[in-house]
Structure 1
Amino acid sequence: MNTIISTPSSSQPHLLLKNVLIIFVTLEMCNRTTSAENTQERDHSRAIFVFGDSLVDVGNNNYVPLTIGKSNYFPYGMDFPGVISPTGRFTNGRTVVDIIGEELGLKHFIPPYLAPTTVGDVVLRGVNYASGGAGILNDTGAFLGGRINMDAQIDNFANTRNYIISNANVWGSMTSANSSSKTLLERALFVVVMGSNDFIGNYFSPVPFVPTQKSMSLEMFLESLISRFRLQLTRLYKMGARKIAVANVGPVGCTPLERALNPSYTTSDSCISFIDNAVILFNKKLKSLLMDLNSNLAGSKFLCADVYSILSHLISNYQSYGFENYSSPCCKILPRALRGLLPCSPTSIVCSNRSKYVFWDMAHPTEATNVIIAKRLLNGDSKAIYPMNIRQLYYA
């Protein structure tokens, strides 16, 4: 059987040339449109780099050896979008930073630094360095075993920064590797959620071999926290960070964990005041620190996210927010005597309606609570976040 190939008539060469030109022009226009769309997407999808503890860990602790601070098993993550297996988040669904990223238009959740897939130009959209059990101080959370404290998280960011610089020309975003990384970092949003474990996993830790409270006064401890945090935030600035939203410490004395640990200090309607009073003192010092950094670090925009006030108001008025329970965890372990003291287990009993509970487990909010916090930080006034909200900072 002969193969028939159609060929143009020799009497119509101009028609062939015309068709070729049309195809060429069409392809060129498509290329330019795609290039413009890619540039526009890059301009509007700025990177987000996240530092913190289990409140914003998205799976780094999955890769940390010798730690009991893991949540890579159900029922953790049971309500996460498209969940197939637990992600390593310490809640039933999304974290506050997950929700913020979605609201700002990110098409993908910010990946954990230690995940083997966090390579290539994926890092241009941002990286999450947070680790369950982490603190500002390096000895915080020692009883958990492995964890990545703030200093080590910044070391990991330094690795990412060097990776971006060395690959900027390969990705073709700009002609100069140094100017490319400088621009990306100056436009990026940095989120820091750190400090809770320095109280519940250090100074007020019930673990006998954590001696901090016996070795120094509360005032000395708070000063050590602020001094260390100043060095850490300044180091981020020196590596190119300019837009940095720092969350203060929430009312950890209201968590099911602290209420269970301190039954003699609470009634059915109260939080643990001696812990929350210490947190309030720290938060005042933190706000002063951030305003001082704004005044002394040229071009910096440090925000103070008042998570304490947001969550305290929610707990005090939980029914008006649509919740039915604020004092006990949705995820209940057996036996009953240990509820509020330990994290979820694969055999835990989970409440049927997670949206009605403020707390997911002994220390972490439900996704429903995280949504409220995230939207207040994104769009709130100066009572929630100062001196501007995260949406304003992101596009500044």
Structure 2
Amino acid sequence: MAMAMDLRLSSTLACLVLLFAIGNAAEELAASFVFGDSLVDAGNNNYLSTLSRANIRPNGIDFKASGGNPTGRYTNGRTIGDIIGEELGQPNYSIPFLAPNSTGEAIRYGVNYASGGGGILNATGRIFVNRLGLDVQVDYFNITRKQFDQLLGAAKAKDYMMKKSIFSITIGANDFLNNYLLPVLSIGARISQTPDSFIDDMINHLRDQLTRLYQMDARKFVLGNVGPIGCIPYQKTINQLAENQCVDLANKLAIQYNGRLKDLLASLSENLPGATFVEANVYALVMELITNYDKYGFTTATRACCGNGGQFAGIIPCGPTSSMCTDRSKHVFWDPYHPSEAANVIVAKQLIDGDEKYISPMNLRQLRDL
């Protein structure tokens, strides 16, 4: 009798363990494929001969996984992509594509193709000499896609891409900052091309690359729109603005592009069967932090924590000779261009569990579980 009860108990426990395991498996993101610029670069530019690099101190000073050593991330800690992956149960950070060890089992949890200085258009970021534009990033994913066929077999790889992976694209800011609005060098381009025409080129190019990813079995997409680039310390410094001012033209261009991006995602949702396109309203999120920074525990949303030059330390990028703030968690901006980890955490959490004000038509937890 006791033995029968023990067997029933063991069987019940085994079922509970199995159910728990199944439940946990459903709540994990298998893989995250990250495309974009320096906001989400995890170290690809370390392997390029480029003027845009973040593998120097004190970048990464709060990145626990490296013991506070620089990794090539353009912030003091984790990027938005890192935080989202962690929160959604991704077992490891997506590995930079150009890293020597980005082969075999290392790619199972995703790959990061993002590159500091990269843009939607190929000409963007040419001032940095080398960077990976979106065309090249998608070319590189094509290589990864074939590796997954070898790793999992063709049928399982297809299923893995379609159902268990999220494709995030955070790009577009450089197309304005380091192309259309680039001081001196862009004057000719602005005379010959209207903002409408320039944004048309961006949208058409982005449509082509998203369609290519779809053709390689990507189905769950999240696109970040362009943030309030007129409010970053660099723009405020070079334009000699007051603390509560932003560069009007830069923000207007971002808003115009963001409207077109929303239309593009609606169109792709209709025309690419089975695909889900989620828009992350980065503009609204970051503007909220800049406008109401004190509400979130920050003491400034104008001055870079790490940088030099001008009223807002906004001219010279963060490096070993930069001045650095004493409390990095109190600054919205880590350097002249990029948010601090503290700001990234707030943005990421809104994208994961927030409502349609910041992420639509669903949040990233819902996208993962789709």
Whole-Å separation in 2 of the counterparts to 1:208 and 1:348 = 27
Map of 1:78 onto structure 2:
61
Map of 1:24 onto structure 2:
none
Map of 1:194 onto structure 2:
171
- Give the Å deviation of 1:202: 0.5
Is the 1:60–1:113 Cα contact (8 Å) retained in structure 2?
A: yes
TM-score, normalisation: structure 1: 0.85
1:19-74 Cα shifts (integer Å, max 9, x gaps): xxxxxxxxxxx9xx99x969975983411100000000000000012x11001010
Bigger-Rg structure (1/2): 1
Q: Which runs of 4+ in 1 moved over 4 A?
A: 36-43, 335-338
Map of 1:105 onto structure 2:
89
SS at match of 2:185: coil
1:274-297 Cα shifts (integer Å, max 9, x gaps): 110111010000001001100111
- Give the Å deviation of 1:313: 1.1
- Give the Å deviation of 1:208: 2.3
Map of 1:366 onto structure 2:
340
Q: Does 1:159 align with 2:134?
A: no
Whole-Å separation in 1 of the counterparts to 2:155 and 2:264 = 30
Q: Output the amino acid matched with 1:74.
A: R
Equivalenced residue count is: 352
Picking from 363, 377, 391, the partner of 2:351 is: 377
Is the 1:70–1:132 Cα contact (8 Å) retained in structure 2?
A: yes
1:290-328 Cα shifts (integer Å, max 9, x gaps): 011001110010011100001111111111111101111
Map of 2:156 onto structure 1:
180
For residues 134-173 of structure 1, the aligned pairs below 5 Å read: 134-168=118-152
Map of 2:271 onto structure 1:
296
Whole-Å separation in 2 of the counterparts to 1:38 and 1:196 = 40
Q: Does 1:55 align with 2:39?
A: yes
Q: Output the amino acid matched with 1:73.
A: I
Picking from 162, 177, 189, the partner of 1:212 is: 189
Map of 1:21 onto structure 2:
none
SS at match of 1:228: helix
Is the 2:278–2:361 Cα contact (8 Å) retained in structure 1?
A: yes
Picking from 216, 223, 239, the partner of 1:239 is: 216
Whole-Å separation in 2 of the counterparts to 1:191 and 1:360 = 22
Q: Output the amino acid matched with 2:52.
A: G
For residues 268-347 of structure 1, the aligned pairs below 5 Å read: 268-333=243-308, 339-347=313-321
Is the 1:129–1:153 Cα contact (8 Å) retained in structure 2?
A: yes
Tell me the percent identity. 44
- Give the Å deviation of 1:106: 1.9
- Give the Å deviation of 1:122: 1.8
Whole-Å separation in 1 of the counterparts to 2:107 and 2:38 = 21
Picking from 358, 363, 369, the partner of 1:389 is: 363
1:87-129 Cα shifts (integer Å, max 9, x gaps): 0000000000100011011222111111111111221110000
Q: Which consecutive unaligned segments of at least 5 residues does structure 2 have?
A: 1-13
Over aligned residues, Cα RMSD in angstroms? 2.1
**Cα 1:337–1:273 shift into 2, 3 Å:** closer
**Cα 1:92–1:210 shift into 2, 3 Å:** farther
Map of 2:71 onto structure 1:
87
Map of 1:14 onto structure 2:
none
- Give the Å deviation of 1:210: 6.9
Map of 2:5 onto structure 1:
none
SS at match of 2:209: helix
